[in-house]
Amino acid sequence: MKIVNHKMLLFLVLSLILCSCSSVITSNKVEQRIIFPSYSVLYDASTQILTATVTFQKDNESGEYIKLSDDSYIFLNEDALKQMADKEHSCFYFLEKKDIEKCPDNLQFNYANDEGKIFSNKMIIRTIQISDINLNKNQDNSLRYKGTAIDEDETITLVLKNDKQQYELQPDIADNNMLVVPASMLREVKSGAYEAYLLRTTYSTSVKAMDRGGNAETSYQSKSYKITIQ
């Protein structure tokens, strides 16, 4: 399986999105039918923080970014998402909620466009829990998790990080709620102490939108563990 040696941090992703924006269009100057929304929510079980991010783009996820006019809005449940940068370069809408002791099971984005049409999209975050993480570079490693069966539209990532590097591994999915991390997958991982956790991500294009459609991504980050890899 592929090993990725780079940081997968939400704010880095957002900053890269922001820097890629060459121009931003106001929503009331765009045909409403060609607005493409992208919804994302992440729950971190260690910090008990829920974050939500929404972008609007012209035609597709590679198109020009769109800033909502005063006549349109985006909410997650009862909370409005905030435009995160100045008027010329803002590309996304963001919400952070702290002290969320349990992963929410009732999340819904409500987006109203400039024609007054409201698009409601429910988000389901699929949890994954693990009691411990033990890894040995000299053998195949099995990790038992608690959670629903993993579907084809999901990915499971094992994140190992410390002050010097971060690795993102994609374990093999086995039967009976087991994940397998082969010794070959750990070959490039340097020995030492790490913080380790699982990230379960679900991706969907079944989004209520207009002509161009949209996409949605939900992620659950498990509690982290301090481990040592020999």
pLDDT tens per residue across span 4-22: 444 444 544 454 444 444 5
Segment among 18-22, 53-57, 87-91, 196-200 with least mean pLDDT: 18-22
What pLDDT score does 132 carry?
86
Task: Tell which residue, 142, 119, 116, has the closest CA to residue 131.
Answer: 142
| Model pLDDT for residues 45-62, shown as the tens digit of each residue | 999 999 999 999 999 998
In percent, the amount of the chain with pLDDT more than 70 equals 88
Backbone φ and ψ for 16, nearest 5 degrees, come out as -65, -40
In percent, the amount of the chain with pLDDT more than 90 equals 82
What is the residue-averaged pLDDT of the chain? 89
Query: Would you state the structure tokens that stand for residue 78, as one six-digit string?
Result: 């009862």
More confident site: 115 or 90:
115
> Quick one: pLDDT band at residue 90, thresholds 50, 70, 90?
low
Domain 141-201+225-229 classification at class level: mainly beta
| Model pLDDT for residues 153-172, shown as the tens digit of each residue | 999 999 999 999 999 999 99
Instruction: Dump strand ranges (E) for 45-78.
Output: 49-58, 65-67, 73-76
| Model pLDDT for residues 71-80, shown as the tens digit of each residue | 999 999 999 9
Give the residue extent of every domain in the chain. 6-125+203-221, 141-201+225-229
* Cβ-Cβ contacts under 8 Å for 200 (sequence gap 6 or more): 126, 127, 128, 147, 150, 154, 155, 156, 219, 220, 222
The DSSP bridge pattern shows strands 73-76 and 65-67 to be unpaired
Residue whose tokens read 């994609």? 170
What pLDDT score does 23 carry?
76
